[in-house]
Amino acid sequence: MTTNNDLVELKNRVIERSPAEQEFHQAVETIFDTLEPVIRKHPDYAQAKLLERICEPERQIIFRVPWVDDQGYVQINRGYRVEFNSALGPYKGGLRFHPSVTLGVVKFLGFEQIFKNSLTGLPIGGGKGGADFDPKDKSDNEIMHFCQSFMTELHRHIGEYTDVPAGDIGVGTREIGYLFGQYKRLTNRYESGVLTGKGLYWGGARVRTEATGYGTAYFVNEMLSAHGNGLDDRDVVVSGSGNVAIYAMKKIQELGGRVIACSDSSGYIHDSAGIDVELIKQIKEVERGRISEYPKRSHHNATFVPGRAVWEVPCHVALPCATQNELDAHAAKNLIKNDVIAVAEGANMPCTPEAVELFRDAGILFGPGKAANAGGVATSALEMQQNASRDSWTFEYSESRLKEIMTNIHANCYETAEEYGRPGDYISGANIAGFTRVAEAMLAFGVI
Ligand SMILES: NC(=O)C1=CN([C@@H]2O[C@H](COP(=O)(O)OP(=O)(O)OC[C@H]3O[C@@H](n4cnc5c(N)ncnc54)[C@H](O)[C@@H]3O)[C@@H](O)[C@H]2O)C=CC1
Ligand SMILES: O=C(O)CCC(=O)C(=O)O
């Protein structure tokens, strides 16, 4: 029999084995805090030490990334790929290029990815990678040289049946293009399924660009509907203005919500008439500019508030879509005071544990990232399917698949939470449902 004390001891051992990896510890804590009922129900999981095994990456690769900048100076960055768990399929997860990237950050993201990918119901394992490279203010030439150097090492470790990276913060279609070009050159193989998030002319899938944000909007809509609410006429606030944020805003508006604020790392914009998403796309995706440009060019009466978090804007629905730990207890208290009814994580682990606790205590509907933002990786798996069958689906069909997957993920989390006596607790539902599928596969494979 596994008791709560056994689990606490086990969690402490996992944390001690990986010192100074604060973000990874945080992700591990969330899992351990919710899995007690499933471990109790399945003594064979404890006997096979599945929890210990799932916390230990199958492989972690750390490498030097040297490149030459436009001034002719040599620059050195550190690259990572953590191949966490391949029980359900090839390692799958994005690459993040940001100065804050450390082994602990990559491990937390890879760990989350195991459960998220399992929830999609598709055959993908969990992994993540990246580098402490800052793409901000780099020329196109410098980005290309960095990507080529990064892939010169990474190509040895990845493959359609082994490990399939994609984008994340700082890595979009441009970077995937440079990475894919270098992989093709080094291996002399046009192996489309080795990377996802590709451009539509060279093996990419329709809806992948939109998928994470659209999926988050679908998920929050499902959460609201399941509790007798809807998005109609609701004020929605989104953090970030990158890939996830832009398409979350677009789909929220299509579903009847009113997005009144969004942000970047310099501050936020408030537009009570409703954010003009096409203008944000032009500023952010095309010009790679700052969000402070928006009020200068919008026909609405919008304002830019520098250096402050967007969570001070009153809203019914909050979608953190920027980065980890961006929504803290102070922000959560503010949102609760302003009568927020639902929060869904478009980003990975954007809410601190204290914020999550406050939402839970206040009875706010809370969609954890591993469920709410799973639409991106799910559509990556659909891209792999299309690559394997040399096929290309229409936008409408691809979006209908995404919608179906998000509806199923919501239902799975909702029903699992009920089954384990935690109705309405989407965190427990997501963790238990995600873990169970991986656990069953690991059990079937023996001790490996
Ligand atoms: N791109 C994808 O398909 C998926 C991304 N995610 C997660 O979503 C989040 C955002 O990723 P992307 O949109 O792809 O990245 P991105 O690089 O396109 O955009 C990130 C955005 O966050 C903003 N930002 C960064 N730090 C901030 C801060 N402290 N305050 C306010 N804004 C800040 C940036 O200015 C930028 O607008 C990340 O947590 C990522 O791991 C999760 C699932 C899939
Ligand atoms: O599409 C992918 O493989 C990457 C998605 C990702 O990095 C994520 O879900 O956080």
pLDDT per residue as tens digits for the range 385-407: 999 999 999 999 999 999 999 99
DSSP letters of 211-266? HHHHHHHHHHHHHHHHTT--STT-EEEEE--SHHHHHHHHHHHHTT-EEEEEEETT
Q: What's the CA-to-centroid distance between 419 and ligand 1, angstroms?
A: 33
At residue 423, does pLDDT exceed 70?
yes
Q: What is the mean pLDDT of residues 205-221?
A: 98
CA distance 21 to 181: 33
Helix count and strand count (H, E) for the chain: 18, 12
Q: What's the CA-to-centroid distance between 314 and ligand 2, angstroms?
A: 30
Tell the residue nearest (CA) to atom 44 of ligand 1: 376
Q: What is the mean pLDDT of the chain?
A: 97
Q: Is the CB of 380 under 6 A from ligand 2?
A: yes
Q: What is the CA radius of gyration of the chain?
A: 21
Cα distances (Å, whole numbers) of residue 108 to 94, 348, 370? 12, 9, 12
CA distance 128 to 107: 7
Nearest to 126 by CA among 136, 117, 135: 117
CA distance 45 to 37: 12
Options 128, 138, 250, 284, the catalytic residue: 128
pLDDT of the residue at 3:
72
ipTM of the complex: 0.98
DSSP state of 444: H
Q: Does this model's pTM top 0.95?
A: yes
Q: Using one digit for the tens of pLDDT, what is the confidence trace for 60-95?
A: 999 999 999 999 999 999 999 999 999 999 999 999
At residue 1, does pLDDT exceed 60?
no
What sign results for the dihedral spanned by CA atoms 107, 109, 111, 113?
Answer: negative
CATH of 59-190, one of 3.40.50.920, 3.90.1150.10, 3.40.50.10860, 3.20.20.410: 3.40.50.10860
At residue 141, does pLDDT exceed 60?
yes
Tell me which CATH homologous superfamily contains domain 210-367.
NAD(P)-binding Rossmann-like Domain (3.40.50.720)
pLDDT of the residue at 5:
82
Structure tokens that stand for 132 in this block: 């402490």
Structure tokens that stand for 377 in this block: 């990786």
Q: Using one digit for the tens of pLDDT, what is the confidence trace for 102-126?
A: 999 999 999 999 999 999 999 999 9
Q: What single letter denotes the amino acid at residue 152? A: T
Q: What's the CA-to-centroid distance between 443 and ligand 1, angstroms?
A: 35
What residues does CATH 3.40.50.720 cover in the chain? 210-367
Q: What is the mean pLDDT of residues 358-383?
A: 98
